[in-house]
Amino acid sequence: MGKFNLSDYIWFCRNLNLQGFRKRFEVAHAKYDRMIEKIIKEHEEDRKSRKDGMGCDGSGCEAKDILHILLDTSEDDDAEMKLTRENIKTFILDMFLAGKDTYAITIEWALAELINNQSILEKAREEIDKVVGNSKLVEESDISNLPYLQAIVKETLRLHPVVPISIRECTEDCTIGGYQIPTKTRLLVNIWDIGRDLKH
């Protein structure tokens, strides 16, 4: 997924497997699908045992995780949006692939910026000491009382977006910067350039 694939960018190569990625992709896809299917089945068995009264009395006494909620939604006929099993698998795969590196990179950038801006680091430390104290760790419930820390996170994400390229597809014909963009055209937006333009 991190390699340049001609088929993704050159339209007449779309049905050709010039670099041999398609077979490798299919093998990786099958492995991920088996892994995710196993996770979903484990959660379905857990949900069944709860409904049968083995794990819970039916009153929601045990906390549900995100997958339990997604499975509940997929079975709810009155749900505003119907979730398929493929939708759930895609969501879990996104969590696995996109959710691990992005957090680590964002934290690294935030720490680097704080180290290079000692006065901001000191203000953040004072806020945490005042709200949380220095004898315990910051918990999720403390975040709403730490506006300066929240501002640091937002500024880090603004200055250093983890993914520099955002892909969008036009839903209708439009004109951007004097260029005619037809429907169904894929646009690659460089977020870092936008941030640079905003600073100037």
Note down the domain range covering 31.
6-98
Structural domain includes residue 1: no
Same domain, 90 and 21: yes
The 10s digit of each residue's pLDDT in 90-135 is 888 887 777 677 778 888 999 999 999 999 999 999 999 999 998 8
Work out the number of other CB atoms within 10 angstroms of the CB of residue 83. 16
Given 159, 174, 190, which residue is the final one in a domain?
A: 159
DSSP-derived secondary structure for 132-180: T-SSS---GGGGGG-HHHHHHHHHHHHHS-S-SEEEEE-SS-EEETTEE
The count of domains in the chain is 3
Listed in sequence order, the residues at least 6 apart from 42 whose beta carbon sits closer than 8 Å to its beta carbon are: none
Is residue 177 within 8 Å of 162, Cβ to Cβ?
no
Instruction: Let me know whether 89 and 113 are in one domain.
Output: no
171 lies in some domain: yes
Q: Same structural domain for residues 76 and 57?
A: yes
Taking CA atoms, 3 is separated from 6, 20, 58, 97, 196, in Å, by 10, 12, 48, 15, 26
Claim to verify: residue 14 and residue 83 sit in the same structural domain = yes
Long-range contacts of 35-42 (CB under 8 A, 24+ apart): 36/89, 36/92, 36/93, 37/89, 39/67, 39/92, 40/67, 40/71, 40/85, 40/88, 40/89, 40/92
Residues 11 and 93 in one domain: yes
Entry pTM: 0.47
Three-class secondary structure of residue 110 per DSSP: helix
Amino acid, res. 109: W
Per-residue pLDDT of the chain (200 residues; tens, 9 = 90+): 667 776 777 777 777 777 777 788 888 889 989 999 999 998 888 888 877 654 454 444 556 788 888 888 888 888 787 888 898 998 888 877 776 777 788 889 999 999 999 999 999 999 999 999 988 898 888 999 999 999 999 999 888 877 777 778 888 998 888 889 899 888 887 776 655 544 44
From CA 154, how far away is CA 144, in angstroms rounded?
Answer: 14
Are 64 and 143 found together in one domain? no
